[in-house]
Amino acid sequence: MNYRIGWKPSLALVAFVGGVGCAGAPPPNDRLASSVAAIRGAEEGGARNQPQAELHLKLAKDQVEKAKDLMKQGQNEAAWLLLLRAESDADLAIALAKESLARAQAAQAMAQIQSLKQRAP
């Protein structure tokens, strides 16, 4: 006897199990809190003062809002992934803001060095 299950019923079973797994995911409240905290950190870190950082800050905020909507719809796994992306964008905004500040400080230091060189005998 040869018992073979066709691929179509197997595919339906995988889709059903996958759907049940997604629906059962708990709301990602911890991830939401950490994403919001990362956004707050980016805002306080000067991300609004640098165009690229500000762009990533806006992306992070938009992603958090979309994730909240997904959570209301019970799509918690998709919300979790979006919140992870939002946190990454907020972290990138912080890094870009710090880089911009470091570049400005380096330029200022170079200007001071040049000024001191001109004064030296």
What amino acid is encoded at 85 in this protein?
R
What amino acid is encoded at 97 in this protein?
A
What residue numbers bound the domain in which 54 lies?
26-119
Q: Which helix (H) or strand (E) holds 29?
A: helix 29-44
In whole angstroms, what separates CA 26 from the centre of its chain? 20
Residue 2 and residue 109: Cα distance in Å, rounded? Answer: 80
* Percent of residues, the chain, with pLDDT higher than 70: 81
pLDDT at 119: 87
pLDDT, mean over the chain = 86
Residue 112 and residue 40: Cα distance in Å, rounded? Answer: 34
CB-count exposure of residue 5 (10 Å: 0-12, 13-18, 19+): exposed
108 inside domain? yes
61 inside domain? yes
What CATH number should be reported for the domain holding residue 91? 1.20.1270
Section 57-81 average pLDDT: 97
69 inside domain? yes
pLDDT at 24: 74
Render pLDDT for 4-62 as a digit per residue (tens, 0 to 9): 445 444 444 444 445 544 557 899 999 999 999 999 999 999 999 999 999 999 999 99
Number of domains in the chain: 1
